[in-house]
Structure 1
């Protein structure tokens, strides 16, 4: 079995604008253009960074005057972006590149809400009327629309429902961005590192986009697991299945007993949104006593794909564009920590190579990494990315 794991770096390698900053800029430019148009002041921005969305919005708004689908997109984007507490917070936050910072900011806010709730609850139980919270906590609360003021008890009634509602709005807004802008973007070139891989049986995508399917999916036997859901413009805020949450931050028994903010957590969203876990079936097959096969050829017979296979000693796991961050620890360990799996990890440059080694230590531990990168027990290889062709 040949498995490819892809993360956001896969889309970035195809020069797609899928960073968190790209998405935030999209929401900002939408409101700027909408306001300008309402005031009869349609404008074009001078620098390249600002103009990347201008033509898209100009076409979309003009089309919305005569096309119902375009009009729905404009109206929905307006509803999703306006007064969204998460977007307001992100404008103040100093966010670095990458999706992981998105989740870190949400986690920071949720944990602040959790901490303040505990402070207030404990103070009220002790009959204290003068309750104090730290300045940084007040600052974070203000950014998400919680005015603490002199009545700290208001912090107990943090609008959790508002936070969840606006998170759903944010995720649906992201779905629209990926569906109508990213998935419709032209991609002129492909990656030789991906094109030259052996026939794949499975793809595990941590992305919401359909980039792999658009460029490389060339046979009907391929199974793709969108572990965090898949962007689909046909969905709505209620049927969206994209997972965008935080990792567990509670320890011990508390993580099972304290479920106040459980709906913000990834594992809950995966279950609630029914994204499924196809990769678990692949892991079960890897750990079974079944013979290992590899596809050697695919041909068409009567319009159907027919495959040829051969016996091999190992399953192959290829990881491209994934940071190997600890947030996906359980999934990565399930796949990598098998002695009958040969893992190839692609990296961009020496700095990226170093980061991946460091992250992999957090995922599988130092001893396992040493054992699996040398000698007769070697199962992990790092290889540089060739680039786009």
Structure 2
């Protein structure tokens, strides 16, 4: 049995624009689209990323990725109607998570960075909640003003809600606090300075329940709204992935240089099934579509305060169970392997220990062992990993992959495809961090673990890059 495990790099190897950067470029284009220009096309979505320029030398070059995309797919058939553009514009404007990611776009380059930014945001939310709780220890009514540290007031425990300027700005994007420009006084007059970089921050009243002579800040309500906003962001992302998943080939792909019986996908697209006619694919993080069950969140909830609030809806493991994705992964294979090995050992030991058995009984035992070993061979094979970062965020999956072999039994060889020398370097670092050097070195010595370069899809299919048009942005 040959198993293929694919991550985002598998789609990128097929020149499908599924990187975080690709998504944000497309969403920015939608946000700024002049609706009087009509429907949006593929070039309108990604044209901003077609050409790059060296600011010092003025030298321009084409984006090789999209040169291949345009050569492989019928991109001219991709269209987003004006009505769809209007709907997406409204959703993007209203969604606090998108506004947060858009504001931090330079800090987020990969989907791993994306997860880290969610965790960073949740830590800031926790900091606000804890300070509010501390404030209530000495007050019945919440002071809605939030004081940036080192600006207005020195922070005293429980006497004033004081957060760093960075955290304040972040919480504004999540709509947990809001800001207004500070008044500037000159003589007897005060006025608003639109150019001022100094703000006064206030807690949003939406999450404050008012009672006679006291109030209560509803932390669970605030978290529930952030969960709902994340679900809405996933819906926006799903619309984008659907657009990519319906891109039709303009060429016919050759078969891959490896034979695959089963695919486990960390992607939301059905790339392997569409291009290589294999239906036995399991989607570990859900699948895009009209009935999407996409998993998009953090690997674990590390913040103790948020654990007390049971904020597990932001974690991938909660979403996987809740959305009924294939979270079992290799469990069935491992369980079957263990069962067969235990049976082989049982019958082998029984044959040796029970000296009273006659030749006919021993022959029957040996036949049983022979059948079990043949059954084990059917499960044995190779696990190919293509386009997965092997990052700590999927630590549990990685440990499960590397539990398929035992000291006396090699069941699977593992081949990891790396896009570049740097990717190979990063893969090895991640494995050493998760598994430890002893296990990695042992598997390398035994020949159970190998690193190879990605199969070149363009080369395999004889596809040459095409020239890209220069797109003039049509901003609204």
- Relative to the length of structure 1, the TM-score reads 0.78
Q: Which of these residues, 163, 175, 184, is aligned with residue 145 of structure 1? A: 175
1:61: which partner in 2? 81
1:208: which partner in 2? 268
Cα deviation for residue 141 of structure 1 reads 0.8
The verdict on how the C-alpha distance between 1:262 and 1:217 changes in structure 2, with shifts beyond 3 A counting, is: same
- 1:123-272 to structure 2, matched below 5 A, reads 123-127=135-139, 128-147=158-177, 149=200, 151=202, 159-186=222-249, 188=251, 190=253, 195-198=256-259, 200-218=260-278, 223-232=280-289, 234-235=290-291, 240-250=292-302, 254=304, 258-272=308-322
- 1:1-389 to structure 2, matched below 5 A, reads 1-33=1-33, 36-38=34-36, 48-49=47-48, 59-61=79-81, 73-74=84-85, 76-93=87-104, 94-127=106-139, 128-147=158-177, 149=200, 151=202, 159-186=222-249, 188=251, 190=253, 195-198=256-259, 200-218=260-278, 223-232=280-289, 234-235=290-291, 240-250=292-302, 254=304, 258-279=308-329, 280-289=331-340, 311=377, 314-339=380-405, 340-374=411-445, 377-388=446-457, 389=460
Per-residue deviation, residues 52-96 of structure 1 (Å, max 9, x unmatched): 89x97994326xxxxxxxx5x556534532321111111221234
Give the 3-state SS of the residue equivalent to 1:184 in structure 2.
Answer: coil
Cα deviation for residue 187 of structure 1 reads 6.2
CA distance in 1, matches of 2:231, 2:45: 34
User: Which stretch shifts more, 265-274 or 125-134?
Assistant: 125-134
The verdict on how the C-alpha distance between 1:276 and 1:75 changes in structure 2, with shifts beyond 3 A counting, is: farther
The alignment covers a number of residue pairs equal to: 347
The verdict on how the C-alpha distance between 1:312 and 1:213 changes in structure 2, with shifts beyond 3 A counting, is: closer
Cα deviation for residue 106 of structure 1 reads 1.3
The verdict on how the C-alpha distance between 1:178 and 1:152 changes in structure 2, with shifts beyond 3 A counting, is: closer
Contact 1:183 1:211 (8 Å CA) reproduced: no
CA distance in 2, matches of 1:108, 1:256: 13
User: Which stretch shifts more, 281-290 or 7-16?
Assistant: 281-290
Contact 2:415 2:449 (8 Å CA) reproduced: yes
The verdict on how the C-alpha distance between 1:187 and 1:334 changes in structure 2, with shifts beyond 3 A counting, is: farther
Contact 2:100 2:174 (8 Å CA) reproduced: yes
Cα deviation for residue 157 of structure 1 reads 5.0
Per-residue deviation, residues 266-295 of structure 1 (Å, max 9, x unmatched): 111111111132423233224331699xxx
CA distance in 1, matches of 2:78, 2:389: 36
CA distance in 2, matches of 1:11, 1:369: 27
Cα deviation for residue 243 of structure 1 reads 0.4
Give the 3-state SS of the residue equivalent to 1:283 in structure 2.
Answer: helix
CA distance in 2, matches of 1:141, 1:57: 40
* Aligned-residue CA RMSD (Å): 3.5
Give the 3-state SS of the residue equivalent to 1:107 in structure 2.
Answer: helix
Give the 3-state SS of the residue equivalent to 1:373 in structure 2.
Answer: helix
Contact 2:414 2:450 (8 Å CA) reproduced: yes
Per-residue deviation, residues 2-25 of structure 1 (Å, max 9, x unmatched): 211000000001111111111112
Cα deviation for residue 373 of structure 1 reads 1.1
CA distance in 2, matches of 1:268, 1:46: 33
1:295: which partner in 2? none
CA distance in 2, matches of 1:322, 1:81: 29
Contact 2:31 2:89 (8 Å CA) reproduced: yes
The verdict on how the C-alpha distance between 1:118 and 1:4 changes in structure 2, with shifts beyond 3 A counting, is: same
Q: Which runs of 5+ in 2 are unaligned?
A: 51-65, 140-157, 179-199, 208-216, 345-374, 406-410, 461-476
Task: Give the greater-gyration-radius structure (CA).
Answer: 2
CA distance in 2, matches of 1:42, 1:180: 12
Cα deviation for residue 45 of structure 1 reads 6.8
Q: Which runs of 5+ in 1 are unaligned?
A: 63-70, 293-308
1:306: which partner in 2? none
Per-residue deviation, residues 124-159 of structure 1 (Å, max 9, x unmatched): 225533221222211211222232555559695563
The verdict on how the C-alpha distance between 1:85 and 1:57 changes in structure 2, with shifts beyond 3 A counting, is: farther
Contact 2:321 2:327 (8 Å CA) reproduced: no
Give the 3-state SS of the residue equivalent to 1:246 in structure 2.
Answer: coil
CA distance in 1, matches of 2:45, 2:442: 55
Cα deviation for residue 348 of structure 1 reads 1.6
